[in-house]
Amino acid sequence: MASWGSCDFHELRDLNERIKAAASEPEMDAFYTGLLDEMMNGLLKNVKKVTPYKTEHLKRNWFITHARRSGKHYRAEIYNNVFYAPYVENGHRIVHKGVTHGFVEGKHMLRDSLFDLQKKAPDFIKTKSEEFLSRMMEGK
C-alpha cells in the first residue's frame, strides 16, 4: 500500500491539553471572578462619579465586595453604609412637624449605573472571553 503522506497532530494534541487546562475549575473560577471584579470596579467608579455631594461623605462610602463563587453562580455586592443613601437614591418626603410639605426626587445613581453596566456587559464579556480563548490557544 502506497503512502500518500503523513500528518503530525502534536499541535492538535497540545491544543487539546491547553483547552483541558483552561477549562479546569480553578482556571475558570479565576477567569469568572476576575471578570466580575473588573465589572464591579467599573460600576463603583461610575456610581461614585454620578453620586451628588455636598461634603463627599456619601460618595466616599460606596464599597464593593470581591467576587466569589456561590454554588453555580458568582456574586459580588455594591453598597453604601451612609444611613441616608437610600433617601438620596430613591427620593424622600419633606416632613416638618409631622406635616408633609413635598417630595425630593431620587438621584438614582446606583440604579442608573446598574442599567449602564447591564447595557455594556455583553460586549465586555465577549471581549474578555475572546482574550481568554486567544491566550489559551497560544498556550500563555
The pTM score is 0.80
- In a domain? residue 55: yes
* CB of 74 closer than 8 Å to CB of 67: yes
Determine the pLDDT at residue 93: 86
How many residues are there in the chain?
A: 140
Determine the pLDDT at residue 6: 46
- In a domain? residue 138: no
- In a domain? residue 46: yes
- In a domain? residue 6: no
Tell me the per-residue pLDDT of 66-94, one tens digit each, with 9 for 90 and over.
999 988 899 999 999 999 999 999 999 89
Q: From CA 125, how far away is CA 140, in angstroms rounded? A: 20
Element (H, E) at 68: strand 68-70
- In a domain? residue 140: no
pLDDT < 50: residue spans in the chain: 1-3, 5-6
Count of domains observed in the chain:
1
- In a domain? residue 11: no
Q: Domain range holding 111? A: 35-131
Determine the pLDDT at residue 5: 47
Grid cell digits, residue 111: 440604579
What is the residue whose three cell numbers read 442599567?
115
